[in-house]
Amino acid sequence: MADSRQPRLSDEQVDRLVGLLGAPPSDLPLDSAARLVEELLPLVRRERARDRRGIGRRWQLFTPARGGRPSALPRMGARRLAILAVAAALAVAGSWLAGAGGHLAPPPSATATPSGSSLVSPTAGATLASLAPFGYPGGGTIEYTSHDSSGGDVLWLVDPSGANRSVFLRGGCCGLFSPDGTQLAVAAPGVTPVGTTRDPSLLGIAVFDRASGRLAHVVPTGCGSCAILSLNYEPDAWSPDGRYIALDMWSDSDPGAAGMGLADRDFPPFAWDWAQGRVTGAHPDIPIAFSPDSTMLLFLRAERTDGPTSSGPLFVLRVSDLSVRQVSPPGVTVETNGLVQGPASWSPDGATIVFAGDDGTAHRTSIFSTSASVGEPVRTLVADAPGATSARFAPDGKLIAFDAEAAGSPFHDLFVVAPDGSRQTDLSSSFDPGVCCGEWSPDGRALVVAGTTSDDSHNNLFIIAADGSGIWQVTNDSNVYSGFLWGPSLR
Amino acid sequence: MTDSRGAVLDNEVRLALLDEQLFRSWYERTWPKVYGYVASRAAGDVALAEEITQQTYVAAIAAGATFDGRSDSATWLCAIARNKLVDHFRRLDREERRGRRVVVRELQLDGASSPATWSAPEDRQLIELALRSLPPLQRVVLTLVALDELSVPEVARVIGKSVAATQSLLARGRDGFRRAWTREVADG
B56-86: pLDDT as tens digits:
998 888 877 666 666 678 888 998 999 899 9
Task: Decide if B27 and A40 are in contact by the 8 Å CB cutoff.
Answer: yes
pTM of the model: 0.58
Dist CA A180 CA A189 (whole Å): 26
pLDDT value of position A162 = 93
pLDDT value of position B44 = 82
Q: Provide the CB-side half-sphere exposure for A435 (13 A, CA).
A: 27
Nearest Cα neighbor of A228 from A220, A238, A216, A217 is A220
Residues of chain A with pLDDT under 70: 1-7, 24-26, 48-129, 223-227, 268-282, 306-308, 338-341, 408-410, 454-457, 491
Dist CA A10 CA B174 (whole Å): 9
Contact with chain B for residue A22, Cβ under 8 A: yes
| Residues paired with residue A158 on neighbouring β-strands, in sequence order | A142
Query: What ipTM was estimated for this complex?
Result: 0.74
pLDDT value of position A264 = 84
Query: Angle of helix A30-53 relative to helix B46-62, nearest 10 degrees?
Result: 20
Dist CA A438 CA A389 (whole Å): 10
Contact with chain B for residue A465, Cβ under 8 A: no
More confident residue, A306 or B151: B151
- Look up residue A102 and give its DSSP letter: -
Contacts of B110 in chain A (CB under 8 A): 4-6, 8
pLDDT average, residue stretch B171-180:
92
Task: Decide if A28 and B32 are in contact by the 8 Å CB cutoff.
Answer: yes
Stretch (H or E) spanning A452 = strand A446-452
- Look up residue B26 and give its DSSP letter: H
Tell which of B18, B107, B178, B187 to mutate to test the A interface (max A CBs under 10 Å): B178
Q: What is the pLDDT of residues A133-181, one digit of tens each?
A: 999 999 999 999 988 777 788 999 999 999 999 999 988 888 999 999 9
pLDDT value of position A102 = 23
Contact with chain B for residue A37, Cβ under 8 A: yes
Dist CA A211 CA A52 (whole Å): 40
